[in-house]
Structure 1
């Protein structure tokens, strides 16, 4: 059984990209500017989604899916 990556809305986006590099592609697909952004070290998923007008639940599901597919 594959373990979930436990990505949640309170996690910092930079932490997610460092822990699971495959998530960078998801960020780029959503046209999020978090990749390489100095604010990415402080923004949570919830804040980044709100800032970019992205559905948080869908975004987290897509991040989780990318992490699962990599395993």
Structure 2
């Protein structure tokens, strides 16, 4: 998988790398199956949940084995 960026759609991430789900759950995204959450970008989800986008991106990319 290519590097995850702030513009990557969460549904796309979950489809390709379902092992990232716990990271989204850890920021309070408990409705990963909802169409609205799956259509959000990483940046949008971070804004809604008050999370630093760069911190989450680092964790997501590390979890899929991609260095930033």
TM interval, shorter chain, is 0.7 to 0.9
Q: Which has the larger Rg?
A: 1
Distance in 2 (CA, whole Å) between partners of 1:9 and 1:64 is: 11
Query: Where in structure 2 are there 5+ consecutive unaligned residues?
Result: none
Local SS of the residue matching 1:22 = helix
Q: TM-score, normalised by structure 1?
A: 0.80
Q: TM-score, normalised by structure 2?
A: 0.83
Query: Where in structure 1 are there 5+ consecutive unaligned residues?
Result: none
Divergent runs of 4+, >4 A = none
Question: Deviation at 1:37?
Answer: 1.8
State the superposition RMSD in angstroms. 1.8
